[in-house]
Each structure stands twice: as structure tokens, then as C-alpha cells.
Amino acid sequence: MSENTVPKQFLNRELGQLEFNRRVLAQAEDERIPLLERLKYLCIGSSNLDEFFEIRVAGLMEQIKLGGISTSADGMSAKQTLKLVREQAHRLIEHQYRLFNEDITPELAEQGIKFLRRTHWNDAQQAWLRDFFFREVMPVLTPIGLDPAHPFPRVLNKSLNFAVELQGRDAFGRNSTRAIVQAPRVLPRTILLPSEISGCEYGFVFLSSILHAHVGELFSGMEVLGCFQFRVTRNSNLFVDEEEVKNLRLSLQGELPQRHFGDAVRLEIADNCSPQIEALLLKEFNLTADDLYRVHGPVNLVRLMEIPNLVARDDLKFPSFAPGIPSMLQKKGADMFKAMRKGDILLHHPYQSFKPVINFIQQAASDPDVVAIKQTVYRTGADSALMEALIAAAKRGKEVTVVVELLARFDEEANINWANRLEEVGAHVVYGVVGHKTHAKMLMVVRRELGLLRRYVHLGTGNYHPRTAKLYTDFGLFTCNEEMCADANEVFSQLTSLGRARKLNHLWQSPFSLHTEMLRAINNETQLARSGKRAHIIAKMNALLEPGIIAALYEASAAGVRIDLIVRGVCALRPGVPGLSENIRVRSVIGRFLEHTRIFYFRNDLQHNVYLASADWMDRNFFRRIEVCFPILDRKLKKRVIDEGLKAYLQDNCQAWEMDGEGQYRQKNPRRATKRCAQSELLEQLASAPAKNPN
């Protein structure tokens, strides 16, 4: 290992992800943010932790189980990392529930939004909830008494369950002392009471409270000594041996149901759970006390995400806005092909609408001159106008080719369903390249014009997912540049056919050229700096982990290159370390929208090269995925990307967090300076009906 890649130069990935969750949780504490949005951030943080345990912690435990002693780039073994992760996760979850109980819940109550505790129900509330239990809850419950004939039931991943301690004999004379009650997922986890019953504008009761209050009805003639909610998180990594399977879709369909029953990695229990039940559950799930999390409140805060949707209080939410549409596309029924022939078109979501992307494919589907449509699908959702348009195009006899990534984590089922529907109407459906996820965001339309075929392409940094396009920041480029379109066509050919990769005109592609070209661009800035010229790199992404890129950035810093990194999530690079990275600054921006754009800027002796990509600077994106990185060639659009996607975020002093060399973050504070909030400013600039600055 070279000097530039010694372990002390890297930060730990898992600990970095927990740091990101701390920044998300800080949003729930921020009193400048509307109250119901703060509740959402609390739920988002809880959801992030769920996935962290399902994937990252599960991976660490699997390594240890298999006897792995190798270390990661930061020099820590899986065992060392897991120890630190457990310690920090316990503190983070404790803080999460303290914030829920001591800050958010009381403030919601002041606004007439209350969580009615079981111990405080009045007679009217008890009567209403008792009726609800017998009418809506009890008919779908199946309590399981634990005895030799009734072993411990299979517990679904992240499901709500109750362990019940009993005393007495049942109808058959059995003296069973323990039972498990599983709450079916069809039941809502929070119930909104009529205002005349709750005594407030919005009164909610947790399903766990209702079941706890009436659990005795499930065990007639027996005494309930205790009822304790619990939830187990399981390993959700899917394993499909791609070299052995003959049909990836069929194999994945068989594997998906087992995800709900992977090895347990975390146990959450009520804080009043008895030692006996705690021991029973730990033994049953083969976990240790380090994997146990006692919580003061509902064991699944994610379920509270539905509360803001049930509460009609716009004053407690972010102001609504209408995303803008570029002037050349504003006219109803605007011809997308005509507009693209006039020049490249750039969309910046969610500030600008995703509708033109939908219009593009819908026009292609109905246009008699369009002969073929090709698209990659990574995440698109269960309900997608784009996918319906592809189906309609195939029904009309057009050549429709869709590269569906079946292994898009947690979207596998939706993608399998779309693949089935597309195949039923005669579309060509392929699943990419064995061993490489197809993560590129590409859409190509082939149209016959004046007797010749012409290609039109959309390339993006985000998924073809209309819902997330309203929540994630992403760029999308429409172009009919012949060389760019030829590059896109070549990538599609690689994905559907066989043969060697050809050199592309403009696109950088993983796993072939992206890593090499990124290193070349970084090293070019290094050489410019060494020759006495001004050199500057700005990069924005979700994660920065790849050791080779980090080593090149350290070398560039030492040569005098100014480097500004905007990394939303985990960053393994240590910024601002004397003798290592004095010229590198790292910041993370956490706001109303999830920062998702990948932008790479190289000053390159005043050429100001700008690239957009589907890829982060991670090993998987460079070497184990099909990704594309594309340049912005139009000067005006290039300036837009620099101004909107980079400068605005470097000037942010409200939602930005600066990282130090130890991986700790400090939130920027404008103090007496002019407040700059990138997301709010972009809403003002680009949305047709902008929201007010929440800060």
C-alpha cells in the first residue's frame, strides 16, 4: 500500500453514516423548520437507521460470523467497527426518543395534535376504542400461546409484535405463561379519533396502546401480568448467485419472500419489558445484550410519517410550490422534439417540473414517426406514467427496449412487476449485465425524419421516478447532439448485446472509463497547480469513499489545488489536515429536499469543464455498476449548473454543515452575515410559484 493510501488517511464508512443520521436528526430539533416537518425528519432518521441495520450492520455481523479478519480502508476490522457502531447507535436512538417525548410531542400538543396515552383515556375515549378493538382489530389477530405444540412464531422483519406474560389455566387446562401477538400489517399503527371524542382537533392513539389495553380479551379466564411491544430488524441483503441462475427474475422472485426472515440484527423492546421476556427474545433471535435497544415510546417511529398527511395544518408544513417549466416547453402540447432540435434543455428538479420528461416519452409513444424507445429503469415506483407510456408504445408496435435493474434494493418487487407487464405487450426486457447493477439514467428515442433516423436522448442524475423527482434534487439533460446520442446508443448496445466496449465520444462510463477519466481530470488540475496556474475542483455527490480518488485529491491538495467537496452523506476523506489536505473543504447540505445531484467541475485552465453523473465516488459505482457521466457542452447550461448546483451550495450558511478532519460536523451559522439558503433561493429562482424561505 502506497503512502497516499495508508489507513490513517481514511474515515470509517459506517461511523460516517451515523454522522449523517445525526445531521438528519438535527433537522427535527431545528425550531426554524415547521413542526410537522420536524416530525417527518424524526421519521426519516428512524427509517435511515432501519436500513443501516438491515444492510450495513448486517454486513458487519456476517463478516464476523464467517471469521473475517480483514480491515477496511480506515484500518478497522468488522469487529472493531461493530463495537463502535453499537455504542453510537444506542446514543443516537436514545436521543431520538428523548426528542420525540420531550420536544416534538409537547409542541404538537400545544397545536391541538395529541397522542392520547392509554393511562389518560377518559370514559368516552375508552368506550370508542373498545368498540374499535372488537370491530377492527380483534378479528384479524392470532395470538400464539407458547408451548411444545405452539413454537415461537416466525416474526417478520420490522413488524410490530407483543410478548405477553400470563398466569392461570386455559380452556384445555394448559398452564402456559407466555404468548406472542403479532399485529398484522393491514392495521394502521396510528388511529385518528373523532374530535368530539378526543377533545382536541387531532387526537391520535397508537395501535400498540389499543392492543395493550385490551390484550386480556385474547386470553379469556387468564390474568395478564405484562404486555410488551417488540420489533426485530433482520438482514435484508439478498443473495442471488448470478453465475448459477438461468433466469434472474425467476430466481429473485423466489428469494424476495425470504428477505422478511433473514438473520436478526437488532431487537427493539419497550423500556418496561420484564427481564424474563427480554431473555426469551434475545435467545429466540440469537442476539446479545449489545443488540438490544430499549425504547421509550412506539418501537417504530417510521409509522408516524403518515401523521402530517392526516393533519390539515398548512401553517405547520413547508409552503407548497409549483415547479417551474422552461419557457420553450410551457405551451400546452409543446413539441419536445422541435424544442430539442433548437438546443439542449436542462431541468433542475424539484425546482423545475419532471413533467417534460413524462411528456417526452408520452409524445414518443404516440408519435407515428417514432420507431424505437430505449430506457434504463432503476427505481420508478409501483405507479409510473413513464412505464405506462412504454407499455402503450409497445402496444402500438414500436420497438421498446427496457433495461430493468431487478436488484435495485427494496424496489425489486416493483421492478419485477413492470418487467412482467412489459414482456406481456412484446417489449424487449433485459436485466443488464451479470455482476453489474445498471444504475445509469438514460432514455433514448429514435425517430424517422425526412427519410433518416434521428436520435433524441435524456440523461439524468436521478431515477425515472415522478414521486422522488418532487423530493430529490437532480439534473436532467435533453439533447439530440449526434455524438452524445451515439454514445448513449453504444451503452444501450452493451447492455442488451455482446461484444467489447468501444471508445465513447463524450460519455465516461463505469466500469470502463469513469474511474480513469476522473483520475485524469483530477491529476490534470494537479499538474496545472504545479506549473503555477490556478486550479480548482468542485464536486457534489452523495458519498465519497473510493480510496484511489481520495488519494488523488490528497495529492492535488498538496500541489495547491483548491478543492471544494459537497458530500451529502458519508465521506471517508479527511479535510483540512495539515500536511495532508489543507486545501480541501468538505460540507454537507441537509434541507427540505434530499440532495441527490452528482456534479463534477474542473477549472482546467479556464475551460471550466462540467460533468453530471449517475455515480457517486464509491467503489461500487466505479467498478461494479453500469454508470454514465456526461458533460454539459452548452455554455449557458454549464453556467447554470455551476451557479445552481455548486455555487449556491458553497454559499449556503443556513443548511450547510462543515466537516473537520475527525469526521465531525458543525452547522454553519450566518450570525450577522446575510442568510443564504441554497434550496430556498433556488425555489425563488426556478419555481413558477415559489415558497417562502422557511428560515
Task: Copy the grid coordinates of residue 303.
Answer: 409509522
User: Percent of the chain scored above 70 by pLDDT?
Assistant: 92
Computed over its alpha carbons, how large is the radius of gyration of the chain?
Answer: 27
C-alpha cell at 326: 422552461
User: pLDDT averaged over the chain?
Assistant: 90
Report the C-alpha gap between 471 and 41 in whole angstroms. Answer: 13
Range with lowest mean pLDDT among 118-122, 155-159, 383-387: 383-387
The reply to whether the predicted model has a pTM over 0.85 is yes
Q: Other CB atoms closer than 10 Å to residue 33's CB: what's the count?
A: 19
Q: Where does residue 502 fall: left (phi above 0), alpha (psi -120 to 50 degrees), or beta otherwise?
A: beta
Cα distances from 102 to residues 24, 107, 297, 298, 488, in angstroms, run 18, 9, 11, 14, 53
First to last CA, the chain: 47
C-alpha cell, 495? 447492455
pLDDT digits (tens, 9 = 90+) for 312-356: 999 999 999 999 999 999 888 889 999 999 999 999 999 999 999
Question: At residue 533, does pLDDT exceed 80?
Answer: yes
Q: What is the C-alpha to C-alpha distance for residues 13 and 55, in angstroms, rounded to an integer? A: 13
Residues 351 and 687: beta-carbon distance below 8 Å? yes
- Over residues 52-75, mean pLDDT: 86
Per the CB < 8 A criterion, the answer to whether 240 and 252 are in contact is yes
Q: Where are the beta strands (DSSP E) in 176-320?
A: 178-182, 190-193, 202-206, 223-234, 264-270, 292-295
* 577 grid coordinates: 489536515
List pLDDT tens digits, range 256-272.
Answer: 455 556 899 999 999 99
Angle at 434 between CA 430 and CA 439, to 5 degrees: 70
Give tens-digit pLDDT for 345-402: 999 999 999 999 999 999 999 999 999 999 998 888 777 898 999 999 999 999 999 9
Q: What is the mean pLDDT of residues 509-527?
A: 97
* Complete edge-to-edge strand list for the sheet that includes strand 113-115: 113-115, 202-206, 190-193
Q: Is 84 helix (H, G, I), strand (E, B) or coil?
A: helix
CA atoms within 13 A on the CB side of 45: 28
Q: Cα separation of 304 and 202, whole Å? A: 14
Determine the pLDDT at residue 619: 96
* pLDDT per residue as tens digits for the range 277-316: 999 999 999 999 999 999 999 999 999 999 999 999 999 9
User: Do 135 and 217 contact (CB within 8 A), yes or no?
Assistant: no
On the question of pLDDT at 695 being above 50, the answer is: no
Cα separation of 284 and 144, whole Å?
Answer: 15
Average pLDDT rounded to a whole number, residues 223-250: 71
Q: Are 294 and 273 in contact (CB under 8 A)?
A: yes
Query: Which domains are present in the chain?
Result: 3-316 (3.30.1840.10), 327-503 (3.30.870.10), 509-686 (3.30.870.10)
Helix (H, G, I), strand (E, B) or coil at 633: coil
Tell me which residue has cell 407458547: 146
- Find the mean pLDDT for residues 589-602: 97
Instruction: Return the pLDDT at 34.
Output: 97
CA distance 291 to 157: 15
Active-site positions?
439
User: What angle is formed at CA 510 by the lines to CA 541 and CA 341, rounded to 5 degrees?
Assistant: 80
